[in-house]
């Protein structure tokens, strides 16, 4: 499979935020979100076998722990990825899979925790989530919405209510997007949507979701890669 990078850091998002995590970032994406912070994954990378990837994960985290498969869009390499995920589970790792849900998720092994990033209108990729994937969500999965304005927020709020997401998954996450040209300051001034405004909307509407901030951007800065 084609891999952009494998590294160990702290998980920056989801209910696992703050935990040590090995990130396996696969190359290639079929979407082009307007605020994408991972464009460096679109091309390049290096070919690695599942055994190579497993060996690197074991080297970085020999005593088990959290692994996140991300990208790009990992499910574009489903044929090689599914066996790798099964091997990671057999090794005792807790494995997260981050996916836009644009590809079918039905063959993702049940032990994998899916973090499904449903695209909102202002990403430029709204409507790409496959509705059939709702049926693949289980109680340990999480659904994330990255928001850049009020329109995105209202889309996420209605999607959450319409599909009863809070009853289906561990967490529904509303996360402000960062400007992709963000540099320097490790604060929320680079968010496209002010977290304070988002907090006030969520409280006013009693949305059954949690506000998530991308922890790694506040620790290392918004432009730093591989952290």
Which residues contribute to the site for ligand SF4 (CB under 6 A)? 29, 31-33, 36, 38, 41, 71-73, 100
Report the C-alpha gap between 123 and 36 in whole angstroms. Answer: 8
Nearer Cβ to ligand SF4 (117/141): 117
CB of 122 to ligand SF4, least distance (A): 12
Nearer Cβ to ligand SF4 (32/43): 32
CB of 33 to ligand SF4, least distance (A): 3
Nearer Cβ to ligand SF4 (33/169): 33
Nearer Cβ to ligand SF4 (54/141): 141
Comparing C-alpha atoms, which of 170, 171, 172, 148 is closest to residue 158? Answer: 172
Three-state secondary structure of 43-83:
CCCEECCHHHHHHHHHHHCCCCCEEEEECCCHHHHHHHHHH
Nearer Cβ to ligand SF4 (14/100): 100
CB of 223 to ligand SF4, least distance (A): 15
CB of 188 to ligand SF4, least distance (A): 19
Q: Which two tokens stand for residue 75?
A: 């499910």
CB of 32 to ligand SF4, least distance (A): 5
């Amino acid at each position: 499979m084609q891999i952009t990078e494998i590294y160990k850091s702290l998980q920056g998002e989801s209910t696992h935020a703050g935990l040590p995590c090995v990130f396996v970032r696969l190359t290639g994406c079929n979407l082009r979100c307007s605020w994408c912070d991972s464009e460096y994954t679109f091309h390049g990378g290096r070919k690695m076998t599942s055994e190579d990837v497993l060996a690197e994960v074991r080297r970085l985290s020999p005593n088990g722990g959290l692994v996140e498969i991300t990208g790009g869009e990992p499910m574009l390499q489903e044929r090689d990825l599914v066996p790798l995920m099964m091997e990671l589970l057999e090794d005792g790792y807790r494995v997260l899979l981050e996916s836009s849900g644009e590809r079918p998720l039905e063959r993702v092994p049940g032990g994998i925790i899916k973090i499904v990033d449903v695209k909102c209108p202002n990403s430029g990729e709204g409507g790409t989530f496959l509705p059939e994937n709702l049926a693949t969500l289980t109680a340990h999965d999480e659904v994330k919405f990255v928001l850049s304005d009020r329109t995105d927020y209202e889309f996420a709020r209605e999607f959450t209510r319409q599909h009863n997401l809070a009853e289906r998954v561990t967490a529904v996450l509303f996360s402000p997007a960062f400007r992709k040209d963000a540099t320097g300051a490790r604060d929320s001034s680079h968010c496209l949507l002010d977290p304070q405004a988002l907090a006030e909307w969520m409280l006013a509407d009693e949305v059954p979701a949690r506000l998530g901030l991308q922890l790694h951007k506040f620790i290392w800065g918004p432009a730093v890669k591989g952290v």
